[in-house]
Structure 1
Amino acid sequence: MIRAYQCRGSSPRVDRTTRRDRVPQRVDHEQRRRQIGEALLRIAATRGLLAASMREVAAEAGVSLRLVQYYFHTKDELLLGSLPYLAERLGARIEARIRALGSPPAPRDVVVAALEAVLPTDQESRQIRTTYDAFYALVLADPSLAAKYEAKDPDALERFLTGQLAAAQAAGELAADHDPGHVAAGLLALTNGLGASVIGGQRSSEVATEVLDYHLDRLFRPR
Structure 2
Amino acid sequence: MCIINCVPKRVDHEERRRQIAEAVVRIAASRGLHAASMREVAAEAGVSLRLVQYYFHTKEELLKGVLAHLGRQITERVTRSVAAMGEPMTPRTFLYGALTALIPTDDQSRRIMLAYQAHYTLTLTEPELAAEGLTYANGLLDFVAGHIRQAQEAGEVAADEDPRQAAAITLALVTGLQSSVLAGQYDGRTATELLTSHLDRLMGGPGQQVI
* Pairwise same-fold verdict (TM > 0.5): yes
Instruction: Give unmatched runs, 5+ long, in structure 1.
Output: 1-14
What amino acid does structure 1 have at the position aligned with 2:82? I
For residues 33-68 of structure 1, the C-alpha deviation after alignment (integer angstroms, 9 at most, x for no partner) is 222112111221122212222222112222111111
Query: Aligned pair count?
Result: 206
Match of 1:188 in 2: 171
TM, length-normalised to structure 2: 0.86
**One-letter amino acid of the counterpart of residue 39, structure 2:** R
Q: SS where residue 88 of structure 1 aligns?
A: helix
Q: Using the TM superposition, give the Cα deviation of residue 154 of structure 1 relative to its aligned residue in structure 2, in angstroms.
A: 4.2
**AA aligned opposite 2:69:** Y
Partner of 1:200: 183
Specify the SS of the correspondent of 1:141: coil
Give the structure 2 partner of residue 56 of structure 1. Answer: 40
Q: Which amino acid aligns with 2:111?
A: Q
**In structure 2, C-alpha distance between the alignment counterparts of 1:139 and 1:194, rounded to whole Å:** 20
- 2:164 aligned with 1:178, yes or no? no
Residues 151 and 64 of structure 1: is their aligned pair in 2 closer, same or farther, counting only changes over 3 Å?
Answer: farther
Q: Larger RCO: Structure 1 or Structure 2 (Cα < 8 Å, ≥ 6 residues apart)?
A: 2
Structure 1 position 152, deviation (Å): 6.3
Task: Single out whichever of 202-211 and 91-100 deviates more from structure 2.
Answer: 202-211
Pairwise CA RMSD: 2.3
Matched, 1:141 2:88: no
State the Cα distance separating 1:142 from its structure 2 match. 2.5
Aligned-pair CA distance for 1:121: 2.0
User: Using the alignment, how far apart are the partners of 2:142 and 2:157 within structure 1?
Assistant: 17
Write the distance in 2 (CA, Å) between the matches of 1:69 and 1:145.
19
Please state if 1:17 is matched with 2:21.
no
Question: Using the alignment, how far apart are the partners of 2:63 and 2:13 within structure 1?
Answer: 17
Aligned-pair identity in percent equals 53
Give the corresponding residue for 2:192: 209
